[in-house]
Amino acid sequence: MAERLPSSLQWGLFLAVLLSSIVMFEPAPTDFLMVIVTVIAVVYGVLRYSASQSFGVFCILLLLLANILSLFFVQNAEVGLFYFIVTLYLSVMWFGIVGLGGRYFEKVLTTVIQAYVFTAIICSILGLGVYFRIIPFINDWLLFGRVKLFFKDPNVYGPFLVLPSIYAILSFEQTKRVFWLCCFFVLVSGVTISFSRAAWLNLVISIVIYLIFAKQGEGINRIKLVFAMAVISILLLIFYIQFTGLDDQLSDRMSLQHYDNDRFAMQKEALITGLNNPIGVGPGQSEILFPLAPHNLYARILTENGFLGFISFSAFLIVSFIKSFQSSRQLGSYSSYYVMISAVIIGHVANSFFIDSLHWRHLWLILALAWIPIRLEKEE
Euclidean distance between CA atoms 356 and 159, whole angstroms: 12
Residue 375 lies in a domain: no
Total domains, the chain: 1
Residue 266 lies in a domain: yes
Residue 1 lies in a domain: no
| Strand-pair partners of 142 | 147
- Residue 365 near residue 345, CB atoms below 8 Å: no
Q: Tell how many helices (H) and how many strands (E) occur in the chain.
A: 17, 2
Residue 2 lies in a domain: no
Euclidean distance between CA atoms 22 and 30, whole angstroms: 8
- Residue 229 near residue 184, CB atoms below 8 Å: yes
pLDDT tens digit string along 256-282? 565 666 677 778 888 899 999 999 999
Say whether the peptide bond before residue 29 is cis (omega within 30 degrees of 0). no
Give the residue-averaged pLDDT of 30-42. Answer: 92
Other CB atoms within a 10 A radius of the CB of residue 122 amount to: 13
Euclidean distance between CA atoms 343 and 355, whole angstroms: 18
Three-state DSSP at 142 gives strand
Range of the domain at 334: 7-370
Residue 380 lies in a domain: no
Give the residue-averaged pLDDT of 127-144. Answer: 82
Residue 349 lies in a domain: yes
Confidence (pTM): 0.92
Question: What one-letter code names the amino acid at 335?
Answer: S
Grade residue 374 by pLDDT with cuts at 50, 70 and 90: confident
- Residue 196 near residue 177, CB atoms below 8 Å: no
Q: Higher pLDDT residue, 146 or 264?
A: 146
* Per-residue pLDDT at 126 exceeds 70: yes
Q: Higher pLDDT residue, 91 or 290?
A: 91
User: Which DSSP symbol is given to 4?
Assistant: P
pLDDT tens digit string along 170-214? 998 888 888 998 899 899 989 988 989 999 999 999 998 998 887
Name every residue whose Cβ is closer than 8 Å to that of residue 30 and which is 6 or more positions away in sequence. Answer: 16, 17, 19, 20, 22, 23, 361
Euclidean distance between CA atoms 85 and 77, whole angstroms: 12
- Which phi and psi angles does 8 have, rounded to 5°? -65, -40
pLDDT tens digit string along 203-252? 999 998 998 887 655 667 777 777 777 777 777 777 766 656 566 666 66
Residue 376 lies in a domain: no
Q: Higher pLDDT residue, 134 or 306?
A: 306
Share of the chain above pLDDT 90, in %: 60
- Residue 117 near residue 179, CB atoms below 8 Å: no
Residue 86 lies in a domain: yes
